[in-house]
Structure formats: structure tokens, C-alpha cells
Structure 1
Amino acid sequence: MLPQAKLGGLAALGFATTIVVANLIAIPAAPAFPGASAALTPLAWLCATVFGAAAVAVLGPSLWPLVGFAGLLLQNATFAGVIALRLALTESTTPALQAAHDALFTLNGTFLAVALLGLSLVSFVPRWQCTLGLTAAALLFTSATITPLAGDGVAMLGLVGWLLWVAWLVAYGWRLLQTPAPQPTAA
């Protein structure tokens, strides 16, 4: 059985890979098939949950790791609504469904910011990675907060924050993979 840190590292890398691939599929297919990336989303949710749980197991159940794990769980729940609405949009293109989708998609940045905040403010990550995580969190949170007020003009903040989130996630996964397995203690 894989040690928790290694499993968490693989899950983080799997999560990052899955969301990038899903977006590469979804973006070209968006108008014609809004549910194009939905098939990969359950894998992303599984990877995100395992990554978060492993991070808590490795870092200990203290405040910041738990905040980060809560952010990942809330992100999963919010994105379940996003994907459900995308699937509904394959059957009906009503403006209300599209507006609900866009609102949930934008607000999801809040939960990504919570995950980044919690899992960056730990001694486990080096200063550069903490800075990367907090920068991504600030951009995602700002985008989620002001997009409803300012419209799509601030969408670039969210995109840059998301790209930084993916880079942070890969670095976190790599760091977890490099974590030595705990040595059994002699009784």
C-alpha cells in the first residue's frame, strides 16, 4: 500500500492533469457540446478528495490543512452543480440555466481560494509555493467577488488565478511525492 504522502501526491498530479485535459476538451467543444468534459469530472473529484485527505493526514488535523480540505470539498460540491447545469444545457439552452451555470462557475473561485489559503499557510510548503498559492487565491477570490458586479471584464483574473492554481497543485503533488515515508517505531 502506498504511503499517504505518495498517494496524495499522485492524487494532486492526477487532479491537475484531469482538470487541464477536461478544459482542453471542453473549450473547443463549448458551444456545440457543453457537457463534453463531464465524463472526466468524477475522476477530478476523486483525486481532489484523496489529495486533500492525504494532505491533512501528512500535515496533521490542524486549522490550516482542515481549511484547505474544506475548500476542496466545497469546490467539489460547487462544481457538481456546474457540471449538472452543463449537462442540462445539452438539452435546453434557456438563459436561466446559463446564468445559473455562470454564477456557480464564478463562485467556485471562492472555494479554490479557500483550498489554496489553507494548504499554503503550512510549514510544509516552501515560501515561493506559499506565495504562488496566496497569489492564486487572491486572484480567484477577487474574480469570484467582483465578477458579479463588473461582468466578464474581470474574467482574466480568474483565468490567471486558475492557471496559478494548477501550477501550485502540481508543485504540491510533487512535494508530497518527495516526502519520505514515516519509519516504523520499535516497540
Structure 2
Amino acid sequence: MRFTRLAGLSGIGFVLLLLGGNLALVSAGFPTPSDAVGFDEVARLHADASDALRLTSALLPTAWLLATIFAAGVFAALWRHDRIRGDGWALVGLAGILMQCVAFAGVGAARLAVATTATHDPGTASHDLGAVAGLWGLHNALFGFNQIFLATALLGLSVSGRRAGLVGRWHAAVGLLGAALLFLAATTSPYGADGVNPLALFGLVGWLLWLVWIVGYSVVLIRGVEEEVPSALATP
């Protein structure tokens, strides 16, 4: 199997793991980024559903591996084109995906730390509740700032993909729109009221566009970039 095809399959696997993991967390009662919850409720949820959180967290290393393979496949497909060599946008996009893996590792670690603290004492003592509040604040900050790395990946690989003729106009437009929404959400995340980003819904839409964008790029890689570029895949 060609590496680019493996990268395409990895991209789709990454999206499926993200969707499955998030659905499992929501089903277990965990708050979404647009939900305002008190620290006592955060402690209770993490104590009651710690098993679900640990199960979904166990899937994250696989998701990061798949994301890295996908990113490397996209970069390899782009870098073979003369119009892209020496153009830094492909490197920007690759760096964005790798950095979001690192940043989201911090998000996952903060969640597990909240669950561990809450399980030992689910918010009954003020100092323990203070520890939960601090860890949850760290989680929210990392989650908010992680969106800038998604925006960086979308921007870099959309621009370079369009210049190489690897993606169509609609695909690049989805990537750039998602990048703009995620950038806005990341920029406004420090101004959240009660721990909720005022533009959280913008971030959610940007994240959904990010998933669509990955699937689109994955299809390109699976179909085989050697045969398809630039005649078919460069069409809008």
C-alpha cells in the first residue's frame, strides 16, 4: 500500500475516533465547551463517569498517531510538486497538525487529573474543590488555545493544496472558513464568562469544518494523487 493511501485511511480513522470519543463523553454527561457548569458539578461528573473518560482517553494515542500519519501523507503529496517546494505554507500546515496533537495531549491530561482529584473526594472539601477548579481552568485554557493550531493546519494545507492543484476551490474554502472561525474562538477564549468562550459556537462550527476538510483530503490521498493531479482534482 502506498504511504499516501495509508495516510488517507488514517485521516478517516482519526475523524471516526474523534466523533466516537466526543459522542461517548457527551452521552456520559460531560459538558460541551458551550455549557456553563459549576466546579462542584464538574467534580461530580468526573467522579461519576471516570470510567468513560478513561476509556475515551485510551483512544487518544491512536488518534494522535493517525493524525501524524495523515499530516505526513498530505505533506509528502504536496512536497513533490515544484510549485510547493520552497513555499512555506505546507510546512505551516504540517506544524499546525503536530502542535494540535501536543496541545490536545495537555487537554486530555487535564481531564484525567480532574477525574483523579474528583474521584478521591468529589468536591466535598473546599480545598479539593479548589484543586478541581484549577485543573478545570487549565483544561479550558488548553482547549481554547488548541484551536489556533487547528486553524494553522487548515490555513497552511489549504493554501498549499490549492497552489499545487491538489484540492478544489470548495475544499480550500472550507479549510479557510474553518481556520477563520477557529482563530476567532481561540482569540476570544480568555474572555469567557463562567469558563465558557463567548464564541464557542464559532469554534464548534470550525471544528466540524475541520473534520469535513480532513475527510476531503483523505479521499484525495486514497484515490491516488499521482494519477489525479492536476486534471481531475484541481477542478472546483
Unaligned runs of 5+ in 1: 183-187
Amino-acid identity (%): 43
Instruction: Give 1:56 deviation, angstroms.
Output: 1.2
Given the two structures, how large is their TM-score scaled by the length of structure 2?
0.73
Alignment of 1:1-187 (within 5 A): 2-29=1-28, 30=30, 31=45, 32-33=49-50, 34-60=53-79, 62-93=87-118, 94-122=132-160, 123=162, 124-151=166-193, 152=196, 153-181=198-226
Unaligned runs of 5+ in 2: 31-44, 80-84, 119-131, 228-236
Moved over 6 A (4+): none
How big is the alpha-carbon RMSD for the aligned residues of Structure 1 and Structure 2? 1.5
- The amino acid of 1:167's aligned partner reads V
Q: Within 2, Cα distance between the matches of 1:77 and 1:107? A: 12
Q: Within 2, Cα distance between the matches of 1:54 and 1:168? A: 15
- The amino acid of 2:135's aligned partner reads L
Instruction: Give 1:150 deviation, angstroms.
Output: 4.3
Instruction: Give 1:4 deviation, angstroms.
Output: 2.2
Q: Within 2, Cα distance between the matches of 1:143 and 1:100? A: 17
| Aligned residue pair count | 181
- For the pair shown, the structure with the greater C-alpha radius of gyration is 2
Q: Contact 1:3/1:181 (CA < 8 Å) preserved in 2?
A: no
Choose 142-151 or 49-58, whichever is displaced more: 142-151
- The amino acid of 2:169's aligned partner reads R
Q: Contact 2:158/2:172 (CA < 8 Å) preserved in 1?
A: yes
